[in-house]
Amino acid sequence: MGEVRARPDTERAHLIDPADHTFTIDRVPVSDDLADLAQRFWIPVWDVPAGSTSPQGVLQYPCCQLVVTPTYARLYGVASGLSRQVLEGRGWAVGVMLRPAAGWLLTGRPVRRLTDRWVDLDTLDALDALDGPALIDDVRRAMADGPASRPAQAAARTTLEDALRAFLPVDDEGLLVNALVEAVESSPDLLRVDDLCARFAVAERTLQRLLHKRIGLGPKWLIRRRRLQEAAERLRDDSDGLAAIAADLGYADQAHFTRDFRRATGLTPGEFAARFH
């Protein structure tokens, strides 16, 4: 399994400040047999000067995340707004970006209970799903040689993959949720909930219940977040004006787009674009 280092500007969810050079992120695909359960590993390594911080903001994808560091290990639910993390000192982490189907499988509970929250992995053993304490010990043992060691990174990934295989195969409902989210992600013209319902021949109330159970948020949020991620991607390039971007993304006008973007990110579209130019 080869490693892929993505350029930071290709990760549209990560609202990276291009002037911040205190960290790197390796992104590595999961093994093929886990494709229905997980999307990829992300391995950040940071070295922030003493007395400084590196704020990170992510318009998160609609899925849970497993993250293990030398000091904490957590399962993160989906953040309804901007997911924020502040890096300090030196450190690294091994994270797994799961598929939308995975959160319910790993916890045995509706994922809406994790919206805008995280739980320590060592609390999950009582749910008779993921054996959090054992997984933490095994991954940290693999990480012992530090982030500069490619074998250490590979061993940590292998340990996490072995734990995830216990949840295969993904159930039919989970496969449907994966397909629903993929349709929104890959169809920029899909701007209305009723269009999504029609594509999958499912009633809106059924869709609401399904998405709240498996990802923790509803279909309107799903479409809105995709639009904001696409907006961030286009603002980095700055090849189109704000009015054109707003119209292409289905906003009534530029003012609505600006309010939506600022509410989600804390920046106006113009302020965000200025980071890159």
Whether 108 and 222 map to the same domain: the answer is no
Q: Is residue 2 part of a domain?
A: no
Structural domain of 118: 8-167
Q: Is residue 267 part of a domain?
A: yes
Considering all CA atoms of the chain, what is the largest pairwise distance in Å, rounded to the nearest integer? Answer: 55
34, amino acid identity? L
- β-strand pairing of 65-68 with 23-29: unpaired
**Structure confidence by residue, pLDDT tens digits, 72-86:** 999 999 999 888 888
Whether 149 and 25 map to the same domain: the answer is yes
| Residue 17 clears pLDDT 50, i.e. is over it | yes
Confidence (pLDDT) at 11:
59
* Mean pLDDT to the nearest integer, 216-223: 95
**Structure confidence by residue, pLDDT tens digits, 141-186:** 999 999 999 999 999 999 999 999 999 999 999 999 999 999 999 9
| Residue 10 clears pLDDT 90, i.e. is over it | no
* 26 touches 147 (CB < 8 A): no
Whether 59 and 110 map to the same domain: the answer is yes
Q: Is residue 3 part of a domain?
A: no
Whether 40 and 141 map to the same domain: the answer is yes
Q: Which of 167, 191, 206 is the last residue of a domain?
A: 167
Confidence (pLDDT) at 238:
67
Question: Of 255, 232, 234, nearest to 243 (Cα)?
Answer: 255
| Residue 22 clears pLDDT 70, i.e. is over it | yes
Whether 13 and 111 map to the same domain: the answer is yes
Whether 17 and 150 map to the same domain: the answer is yes
- Give me the CATH number covering residue 234: 1.10.10.60
Q: How many helices (H) and strands (E) does the chain have?
A: 10, 9
**Structure confidence by residue, pLDDT tens digits, 196-208:** 999 999 999 999 9
Distance CA 83, CA 63 (A): 12
CB atoms within 10 A of CB 75: 24
Whether 187 and 159 map to the same domain: the answer is no
* 103 touches 215 (CB < 8 A): yes
237, amino acid identity? D
* Mean pLDDT to the nearest integer, 76-98: 92
Phi and psi angles of residue 240, each rounded to the nearest 5 degrees, phi first: -125, 155
Confidence (pLDDT) at 36:
98
Q: Is residue 68 part of a domain?
A: yes
Q: Which of 105, 134, 167 is the last residue of a domain?
A: 167
Confidence (pLDDT) at 236:
84
Confidence (pLDDT) at 125:
65
Whether 41 and 158 map to the same domain: the answer is yes
Q: Which of 118, 143, 167 is the last residue of a domain?
A: 167
Confidence (pLDDT) at 104:
94
Q: What are the DSSP calls for 108-146, one per residue? A: SS-GGGGTT-EEEGGGGGGGTSS-HHHHHHHHHHHGGG-
Q: Is residue 234 part of a domain?
A: yes
Q: Is residue 1 part of a domain?
A: no
Q: Is residue 147 part of a domain?
A: yes
Total domains in the chain come to 2
Confidence (pLDDT) at 13:
72
Phi and psi angles of residue 214, each rounded to the nearest 5 degrees, phi first: -100, -30
Q: Of 82-91, 109-118, 126-135, 215-224, which range is least confident?
A: 126-135
Confidence (pLDDT) at 71:
93
Confidence (pLDDT) at 237:
78
- The percentage of the chain sitting over the pLDDT mark of 70, rounded to a whole number, equals 93
H or E element that contains 236: helix 219-237
Whether 67 and 100 map to the same domain: the answer is yes
Whether 108 and 192 map to the same domain: the answer is no
Confidence (pLDDT) at 140:
97
Whether 90 and 188 map to the same domain: the answer is no
Q: Is residue 189 part of a domain?
A: yes
Whether 154 and 81 map to the same domain: the answer is yes
| Residue 1 clears pLDDT 50, i.e. is over it | no
| Residue 69 clears pLDDT 70, i.e. is over it | yes
Q: What share of the chain is helix, strand, coil (3-state, %, to 5)?
A: 50, 15, 35
Confidence (pLDDT) at 21:
87
Decide which of 124 and 255 is more confident: 255
